[in-house]
Structure 1
Amino acid sequence: MVLRRLSASITVLFVVSVLVFAATSLAPGDAATARLSQQGGATREQVEALRHTLGLDAPLPQRYLAWLAHAVRGDLGVSYAQGREVSGLIAERAVNSLLLGGVAVAVLIPLALLLGIWSGLRADRRSDRVITASSLTLVSIPEFVTGTLLVLCFATGLGWLPAVSVLSAGESPADRPSVLVLPVLTLVSACLAQNVRLLRAGTVQAASSDAVEAARLSGVPESRVVLRWILPAAIVPSIPLMARYVSYLLGGTLVAESLFGYPGVAAALVDASAARDAPVVLAVALIATCVTVTLNLLADVLSAVFNPVRGSGV
């Protein structure tokens, strides 16, 4: 299964690279025009000279094959807009995005497990109704609205947290943890509701299974029943969804980074798209695809490990 998925992943990466390369190359304008327009404009001869320097006047298939030949060796090229190595540029932003996404994942997973299983074990009670209503409210509010409300409350209103992630030169978000709080809350609120609802449904179904009823009738302590039978059965259906959200968080979160001015990969993607900076756009797209494919493969493996069919006896 793993070998089949790996071969399929290589195909996915190839297709994504072709589509992204074609989209960035066929879009109106190019990197030479965008770069010179930021410098106050230029003559047609200057634009053509820069296009030749960047290799943009070569046929599209030739440019793609040249990029692919370097990419398979780990060379992602040079940014058209900044003249820097793409790998170094992405590495700087990726550290910030991974920090933001990692903190969000560290908050999301235990909180979703706690609320989902707690709600499922107390189905139709007051705490379950409160958690369910809160989940429905969160899932119906767009992410940018949640972020804006958090800014109005905790930044503008109370003044407890910064509204934007402004960092000094050479400063990391880890040096100022306060700039992570509002983006993390925005991300977790957007991802939490669906996971809680799915875990609750899995817990309710598992709690009414024959194996759980037999265990309780046999006098097995409730804590062991939850850990041995209910928890694995509740987790299995939610693993693919959780993997999707984790890949979303670790791959760079456009809305949160744009809303709070966070210097991450998603913000770099927006800037590169506006500048028609194909090497940067390709690098970000491939990295995000790799993260998604890897986490989906891991989700399949974990689903097999936690499959409760492997032991249903008391």
Structure 2
Amino acid sequence: MTAGRDRHWGVLGVPSSRAAHWPGLEKGPAALRAAGLVDALAAAGASVTDHGDRPVARWRAPGTPRRDPAGARLPAPHDVDGVAEVLRGARDALAGVLAAGETPLVLGGECTLAIPLVAAAVAAHGDVGLVYVDGGQDLQLPADHPEEPILDSMGVAHLLGLPGTVDALAGLGPRRPLLDADALCFLGFADDDEDVHDLVPSPRIPAADVAADPDGAAARALAAVTGRGGRPFVVHVDVDVLDALLLPGADVPQYGRGLTLDVLVAVLEPLVADPLLAGVTLVEHNPDHDPDGLSARRLVAVLAPVLAARRQP
């Protein structure tokens, strides 16, 4: 694996909101493209192949919920079949990107896109770590949230194969669980810890700690996910890690608690430049929350140089 300008990015859009709370995220890849992401990467010196977008998959209203004999709603996540179809297609397309020797850059779409990226990377590399740069941890379990059975908030739980997760997602890759808890680091979250059953002993670096020392946070995350043997890793970036008062656009915004754009850049630079990086997701930008496209253009302006930068190994 190589770093910086020696890396060849393979850009793949997955325009889906099927796992989300509502429509909008299916427009995210097109908005990032319209903001000039691919051209900005090339202009910043990155080597890029654009693989285009997967078919659009828009959120659809839930049907009648399943209920037990007493009338209580059963913990069945919304639209499992539709979400699984999207993720299988993304996994197979990403396998092709990796087989071509490219580093995937996945434009979403929802947080569940971390699942096919990890699945494809595990198939290619045998084992991977994950730095989860997100305003939350996506560890919710279906049984705990029958009132809000949204798979977008359950992606990491499925990567880890936690109890009650659904086979169609947890079994998406060549092994189960796809990810070990000791190869995972949560970075930048502002919500309360979602590991309510104490099942996930992964390192956690909250937003306040990242803001205080971005370089130190990145170093801790790298040490956690690469391990002693130099394990490849992927980075998941949800734009809801940012303070939505300063940069609107996240599908589920955080007000006054997220990172600034400068801090996000500072913590991503050493992660993206590391030669063990095996892929990146950039997800959860909802253009309905950014109608003039200003936030998308600001994201592109600051992230393209980060993705193109070179750091000596």
When the two structures are superposed, what TM-score results if normalisation uses the length of structure 2?
A: 0.27
Q: Going by fraction, where is strand more abundant, 1 or 2? A: 2
TM-score under structure 1 length normalisation: 0.27
Choose 1 or 2 for highest CA Rg: 1
